[in-house]
Copies of this chain bind each other. A is one copy, B any other.
């Protein structure tokens, strides 16, 4: 079957255009990553659903506050990771198979967040929950750190962006991973203290990153 005149397209036939192969491939990786981010961030609500047949809905809804809190935190977390991922991919000049594999590992930890976030919402005072959530976040940061390091070592970033990544994203990732790992022993003493550590790093992190961004501007 030959493709017909493009002005009168047939039933699902046509030439696959390849004017710019690398652009198509790169866009597929980016849009696949974005798909996983969008799905994970939307599935965060799964911890909130209320089964049918609950006797006192008002009470049940009021009891959902910790779930809503976990939802808010995790939405902010995934949103920030998405922005950082966004920036990293905008800085990439080229990519290869190992970087795509590292990106899949990174996405595997992103996709776990709806699960660990649901556990956080329903069992936030349990040490095991805090350990699981903190481990998940630390793994996301370390996987992202791996992607950035690989890209830096193999000289895959655009000249202008190289220094930004080295000075800004590398330490940010390591500090975040460190705080999440440090919160694990803290959780054995107090789950509340561990949770506050995450909030602190977010608020301070936002300020620091804004200042760094301001310096860079």
- Give A80-95 as 1s and 0s: 1 = Cβ < 8 Å from B's Cβ atoms: 0011001101111111
Q: Which of B9, B92, B114, B160 contacts A25 (CB 8 A)?
A: B9
Does A182 make an interface contact (CB < 8 A)? no
- Contact indicator B75/A108 (Cβ below 8 Å): yes
- Contact indicator B118/A42 (Cβ below 8 Å): no
CB within 8 Å of B: which A102-124 residues: 104, 107-108, 111-112, 114-115, 118-119, 122-123
Q: How far is the CB of A123 from chain B (nearest CB, A)?
A: 4
Complex Cα–Cα for A116 and B119 (A): 20
Chain A interface, number of residues (Cβ within 8 angstroms): 95
Does A22 make an interface contact (CB < 8 A)? yes
Copies of this chain assembled into the complex:
4
Q: Which residues in B have their C-beta under 8 angstroms from that of A189?
A: none
| Closest residue of B by beta carbon distance from A14 | B22
- With A21-B90, A34-B28, A100-B83 as given contacts, are A61 and B15 in contact (CB-CB < 8 Å)? no
Q: Which residues in B have their C-beta under 8 angstroms from that of A87?
A: 9, 11-12
Q: Which residues in B have their C-beta under 8 angstroms from that of A97?
A: 10-13, 83, 213
- Give A158-199 as 1s and 0s: 1 = Cβ < 8 Å from B's Cβ atoms: 101100100000000000000000000000000000000000
Q: Which residues in B have their C-beta under 8 angstroms from that of A37?
A: 32, 35
CB within 8 Å of B: which A31-66 residues: 31-32, 34-46, 48-50, 52, 54, 57-58, 61-62
Q: How far is the CB of A62 from chain B (nearest CB, A)?
A: 8
Q: Which residues in B have their C-beta under 8 angstroms from that of A161?
A: 8-9
- With A11-B87, A50-B119, A75-B111 as given contacts, are A18 and B96 in contact (CB-CB < 8 Å)? no
- Contact indicator A158/B18 (Cβ below 8 Å): yes
Complex Cα–Cα for A143 and B40 (A): 21
- Contact indicator A26/B35 (Cβ below 8 Å): no
Q: List 26 A-B contacts (CB under 8 A).
A: A3-B94, A4-B217, A6-B20, A8-B158, A9-B25, A11-B83, A12-B86, A12-B96, A12-B97, A16-B22, A16-B89, A16-B93, A16-B94, A17-B20, A24-B30, A25-B90, A31-B31, A35-B35, A42-B43, A45-B111, A50-B118, A58-B127, A58-B128, A61-B132, A71-B112, A72-B108
